[in-house]
Amino acid sequence: MKTINDFNFENKKALIRVDFNVPLNEKFEVTDDTRIRAAKPTIIKILEDGGSAVLMSHLGRPKGVQDEFSLHHIIDEVATVIGVQIKFVANCVGSEAEEAVEKLNPGEVLLLENLRFHKEETSGDTEFAEQLSKLGDIYVNDAFGTAHRAHASTTIVAQFFPEHKCFGNLLAKEIESIDKVLTTGEKPITAILGGSKVSSKITIIENILDKVDHLIIGGGMTYTFIKAQGGKIGDSICEDDKQELALEILKKAKEKGVEIHLPVDVIAADAFDNNAKTTVTSVDEIPDGWQGLDAGPETLKRFHEVILASKTILWNGPLGVFEMESFANGTIAIGNSIAEATANGTFSLVGGGDSVAAVKQFGFGDKVSYVSTGGGAMLESLEGKTLPGIAAIKGS
């Protein structure tokens, strides 16, 4: 696996695919700079080598050229985070872009305009990719968030750099972290899967059953498993058409020697409301008119023991409706358990939209080993899929 550490960028122009698809407010100010900060080590390494950086990214889903999706809105934020002045060019291909790159001196950074202003980007057009390839001597992919897309800038462009392509720091770390869970992780390995639907996690479950020793299931999908086994779940969320599948997963896990841990008690509420009446009830005895919205105290005690005994942990999905303060305790408790295990030397990887949001909201970011920046890409990796952006660099 070639990374930026395998190259010296002195007097070289690095064409870097970054993921600067950041949220903006109505004043076009960046409200979360996580993705920009994540790209910083790669950019700094190239500049310190004596090279220059040409940054390409998308922003949103524009229909043609639309100013609200222009990357010129984020120039100041990128400059602040990276700590150098950022040059900008109002296109990402063609003579204007090529001239701007030509004038670039070692130590300088150029940000290209939104790739998705050209429909050829998302269609994976080869000619468009070839035009992009003229803008650098070495191609660096550091955008894990788009590595599952076979777009021109994430995948197709790599073919024009047969010997001069590599992963940036961020993408290399993402690959390594997922690898630790799926391939090289120290046992016992525990996966914690939350969220509301079994259907959205089924391929992940099927792929990781051969890799993990323990599977903790929480969140809304709990109730499909409980109902499938004859439990009473009141008005809790349930995918009735997935009950057979739930039983099949339990059977497969048993055959493979994987211990599945389901909640034993829950915080049930009489309405889907932060101010609803709540009660602690057995997970399979939820009264009619009530719904399970968070994990209960006995469940959290049991999950805590499993987590502390683990050497490798994957966490994907919250354990309750953490957006409501009344039902955030389960997710916070799991975060605390993982943080404690990590402090004791366990490797912990957190990924997937809602669990990443929870980690940020409750301040666990620096208490776990790694927080993945790519939602869809991370999930596809866990499903065992080969991501085109990664295969393009590895040459497979």
Task: List residues with catalytic annotation.
Answer: 35, 197, 353, 376
Does the annotation place 49 within a ligand binding site? no
Would you give the end-to-end CA distance of the chain in angstroms?
11
Q: 240, 246, 49, 19: which is closest to 146 by C-alpha?
A: 19
Does the annotation place 67 within a ligand binding site? no
Does the annotation place 17 within a ligand binding site? no
Does the annotation place 363 within a ligand binding site? no
List Cβ neighbours of 108 (8 Å cut-off, separation of 6 or more): 52, 53, 84, 85, 87
Does the annotation place 389 within a ligand binding site? no
- Give the DSSP H/E element, type plus range, for residue 112: strand 109-112
From residue 131, give the alpha-carbon distance in Å to each of 136, 153, 193, 290: 10, 10, 42, 59
Residues recorded for the chain = 396
List Cβ neighbours of 289 (8 Å cut-off, separation of 6 or more): 234, 235, 270
Does the annotation place 292 within a ligand binding site? yes
Does the annotation place 323 within a ligand binding site? yes
Does the annotation place 25 within a ligand binding site? no
As a whole number of angstroms, the distance between CA 25 and CA 299 comes to 40
Does the annotation place 58 within a ligand binding site? yes
DSSP label at 198?
S
From residue 322, give the alpha-carbon distance in Å to each of 192, 226, 316: 16, 21, 14
Does the annotation place 352 within a ligand binding site? yes
What is the rounded radius of gyration, in angstroms, for the C-alpha atoms of the chain?
A: 23
Does the annotation place 302 within a ligand binding site? no
Residue type, 364: F
Q: At what angle do helices 297-308 and 329-343 cross, to 10 degrees?
A: 20
Does the annotation place 61 within a ligand binding site? yes
* Residue 137 burial (C-beta neighbours within 10 Å; 0-12, 13-18, 19+): middle
Does the annotation place 20 within a ligand binding site? yes
List Cβ neighbours of 105 (8 Å cut-off, separation of 6 or more): 52
As a whole number of angstroms, the distance between CA 245 and CA 243 comes to 5
As a whole number of angstroms, the distance between CA 262 and CA 12 comes to 54
Residue type, 120: E
Binding site for substrate, by residue number, is: 19-21, 35, 58-61, 116, 149
Binding site, by residue number, is: 19-21, 35, 58-61, 116, 149, 201, 292, 323, 352-355
Binding site for ATP, by residue number, is: 201, 292, 323, 352-355
